[in-house]
Structure 1
Amino acid sequence: MSKAEFIENVAAAGDMSKAEAKRAVELVFGEIEAGLKRAKKDGKFTVGTFGTFTITKRAARKGRNPQTGEEIKIKAKKSLRFKPSAQLKAAAGC
């Protein structure tokens, strides 16, 4: 689903204009981003009954170029993970 489709669905479900829905969606996404920036200490940001976003660190490692078989170095980096809450899993039928 594209962001535009998501905004259209929110507008229809909330009985609001697309402009109002876009503002609401942008506020929610912005708050999630801000929460992740604040979460640098423990690396977690929980959104109520929605789920938990976690920032994890991936260590540097060696890999192989699949075309040439040459060994390459893969840099260390941070990764973002999401774990849905039990309520969200139940709503999705998982």
Structure 2
Amino acid sequence: MIRLNLFLAFLLMASAISLVTVRFQTRELFVASERLKSHAHELDAEWRRLQLERAELARNARIDSIARADLHLVSVTPDRTIYLQQPAPAAQESRP
């Protein structure tokens, strides 16, 4: 009977230790999960900010102002336009 009691006490201690270990691992996983959710939220906010920045940089008015100010480009006028005409195709000789 003493052997059975010692065996049951050993099983009780082993299950208690495993319970504590499982709860500790659960808490660690929960903390890691929350940390990853927070990081995902930060990345999502950064993605939205970058999308807005890209849209701002691609605006036509901004590109036009940079072209005029930094590159000194001007709008094309008809008097500065050169028109090229393609020569008419030569008449092909007919062969019998």
Shorter-chain TM-score tier: under 0.3
Larger radius of gyration: 2
**Higher helix fraction (1 or 2):** 2
Give TM-score scaled by structure 1 length: 0.27
**Higher strand fraction (1 or 2):** 1
Structure with higher RCO (Cα < 8 A, 6+ apart): 1
